[in-house]
């Protein structure tokens, strides 16, 4: 089962391809989405979907509080809100 990570405090120069390269060292990467403001600029954060929980855990252990082009990034499991169903 895939697992989504949240990476924060990224450099403005971070790209999807660059993040794929960094995270792929720890496991398969299914997707990367850099958060952008209304003008298209980076919000210095991204969601990274890893193929499985083992690769995600390795990425957290290897990249959380690591130097990424001069910035110390935080990487942790993303909390995805669950939609409430009517009547529950």
Give the CATH number for residue 51: 3.30.70.330
Strand ranges in the chain using DSSP code E only, listed in sequence order? 3-8, 29-36, 42-50, 67-68, 71-72, 74-77
Report if residue 73 sits inside a domain.
yes
- pLDDT number for residue 49: 97
> What is the number of domains present in the chain?
1
Question: Could you tell me if residue 86 is inside a domain?
Answer: no
In a domain? residue 70: yes
Which residues span the domain enclosing 73?
A: 3-77
What is the mean pLDDT of each successive set of 10 residues along the chain, which is 88 residues long? Answer: 96 96 98 96 97 98 96 94 66
Residue 20 included in any domain: yes
Is 84 inside any structural domain? Answer: no
Within a domain: 87: no
pLDDT of residue 80: 72
């Amino acid at each position: 089962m895939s697992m989504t990570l949240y990476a924060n405090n990224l450099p403005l120069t971070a790209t999807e391809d660059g993040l794929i390269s960094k995270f792929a060292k720890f496991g398969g990467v299914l997707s990367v989405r850099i958060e952008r403001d209304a003008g298209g600029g980076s919000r210095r954060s991204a969601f990274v979907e890893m193929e499985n929980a083992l690769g995600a855990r390795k990425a957290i252990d290897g990249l959380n509080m690591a130097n990424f082009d001069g910035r110390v990034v935080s990487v942790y499991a993303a909390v995805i809100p669950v939609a409430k169903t009517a009547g529950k």
